[in-house]
């Protein structure tokens, strides 16, 4: 699919991978992007920077906690009010917090399920611009290879993969025409990795991280956004793409 003149709603859009995707989508000709994020103060700052760079008519910010269905629905409504349509939902918001794993499940799993079903059942079939609407869900390398990561975070990312695998079946695809794509980033230089020690209780996993993290080359978030645009140009419903070490497969 081409991004030209499409409308996208991206969650977790004001930091790291999400913000790079917003910019890459805008560079690739989307008509409009909704930045959906829980952090209002930073959201306003980022919105004003993006308006200077890309023009005020192409971006809006909506405060959304993805685990709250009403707030998520409000973001769909405001997107349609602002841009007239919606073609792409990127469920990118996610946290890695072993200390508050219930909140992590709420955001990483419930948030993705809420967004995916609002998009597939209510909004994308009705308000798409063209005939190729898509939901992109961000899982993780640790949804594929759980060897060193926090088991609780890994479980949430497996759930995202499971959702994509189930929805790609034609019994789900045919009635809505909405494709599902799952992208699994490898370790990427963003706040989620920088804060990793704060969010893990001391003990076994911090020891594992201490041994593992210094041996890894973190990729830049721009690698993800460039890859996502390329993948969107040419993917099949239900695909799972790993983006790691500057390679997609
Ligand atoms: P980040 O911490 O830079 O960005 C996360 C964004 O989500 C922030 O803007 C934050 O305000 C927002 N957010 C947090 N809770 C929210 C909520 N309840 N509702 C709405 N927005 C919320 O992290 P990063 O790395 O850009 O993460 C993006 C996605 O990529 C996440 O799903 C993460 O699990 C996934 N990922 C990241 C990897 C990495 O190494 N950085 C590797 C694999 C997957």
> pLDDT grade, residue 61 (50/70/90)?
very high
Catalytic residue among 123, 127, 142, 153: 153
DSSP string, 148-176: SS-HHHHHHHHHHHHHHHHHTSHHHHHHH
pLDDT score of 50: 98
Which one is predicted more confidently, 210 or 180? 180
pLDDT over 70 at 146, yes or no: no
Ligand 1 atom with minimal separation from the 192 CA = 2
Residues within a 6 A CB radius of ligand 1? 11-12, 14-18, 37-39, 64-67, 92-95, 107, 138, 140-141, 185, 187-188, 190-193
pLDDT score of 176: 93
> pLDDT grade, residue 247 (50/70/90)?
low
Which one is predicted more confidently, 206 or 86? 86
Partners of residue 242 on adjacent β-strands: 184
* Ligand 1 pocket: which of 93, 144, 228 to mutate (most atoms within 8 A of CB): 93
Which one is predicted more confidently, 210 or 75? 75
Give CA–CA dist 91/85, Å, rounded. Answer: 18
Ligand 1 atom with minimal separation from the 66 CA = 19
Name the token pair of 91. 């469920």
- The ipTM (two decimal places) reads 0.99
pLDDT 10s digits, 224-241: 999 999 999 999 999 999
pLDDT score of 200: 79
pLDDT score of 179: 97
pLDDT 10s digits, 15-57: 999 999 999 999 999 999 999 999 999 999 999 999 999 999 9
At 53 the three-state DSSP class reads helix
Give CA–CA dist 243/97, Å, rounded. Answer: 22
pLDDT 10s digits, 91-140: 999 999 988 999 999 999 999 999 999 999 999 999 999 999 999 999 99
pLDDT score of 143: 73
- Torsion, Cα of 185, 188, 194, 199 (10° steps): 10
198-201, Cβ contacts within 8 angstroms, sequence gap of 24 or more: 199/95, 199/96, 199/97, 199/98, 199/99, 200/98, 200/99, 200/150, 201/98, 201/99
* Ligand 1 pocket: which of 91, 103, 105, 192 to mutate (most atoms within 8 A of CB): 192
Instruction: Return the closest-CA partner of residue 86 out of 109, 63, 115.
Output: 115
Reported pTM: 0.96
pLDDT 10s digits, 163-203: 999 999 989 888 999 999 999 999 899 998 888 877 777 77
pLDDT score of 248: 66
**Is 153 one of the annotated active-site residues of the chain?**
yes
> pLDDT grade, residue 148 (50/70/90)?
low
Centre of ligand 1 from the C-alpha of residue 174, in Å = 31
Name the token pair of 140. 């993780």
Give CA–CA dist 108/117, Å, rounded. Answer: 15
């Amino acid at each position: 699919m081409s991004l030209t003149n499409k409308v996208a709603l991206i969650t977790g859009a004001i930091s790291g991978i999400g913000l790079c995707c917003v910019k890459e989508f805008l560079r690739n000709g989307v008509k409009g992007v909704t930045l959906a994020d829980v952090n209002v103060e930073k959201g306003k700052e980022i919105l004003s920077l993006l308006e200077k760079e890309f023009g005020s008519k192409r971006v809006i910010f909506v405060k959304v906690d993805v685990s709250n269905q009403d707030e998520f629905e409000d973001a769909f409504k405001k997107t349609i009010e602002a841009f007239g349509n919606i073609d792409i939902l990127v469920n990118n918001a996610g946290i890695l917090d072993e200390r508050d794993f219930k909140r992590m499940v709420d955001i990483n799993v419930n948030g993705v399920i809420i967004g995916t079903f609002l998009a597939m059942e209510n909004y994308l079939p009705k308000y798409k611009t063209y005939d190729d609407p898509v939901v992109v869900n961000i899982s993780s390398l640790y949804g594929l290879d759980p060897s060193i990561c926090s088991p609780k975070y890994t479980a949430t990312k497996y759930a995202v993969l499971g959702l994509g695998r189930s929805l790609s079946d034609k019994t789900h695809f045919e009635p809505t025409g909405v494709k599902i794509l799952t992208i699994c980033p490898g370790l990427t230089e963003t706040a989620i990795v920088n804060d990793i020690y704060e969010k893990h209780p001391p003990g076994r996993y911090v020891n594992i991280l201490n041994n593992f993290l210094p041996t890894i080359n973190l990729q830049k978030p721009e690698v993800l956004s460039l890859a996502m645009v390329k993948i969107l140009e040419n993917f099949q419903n239900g695909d799972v793409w790993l983006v790691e070490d500057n390679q997609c497969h």
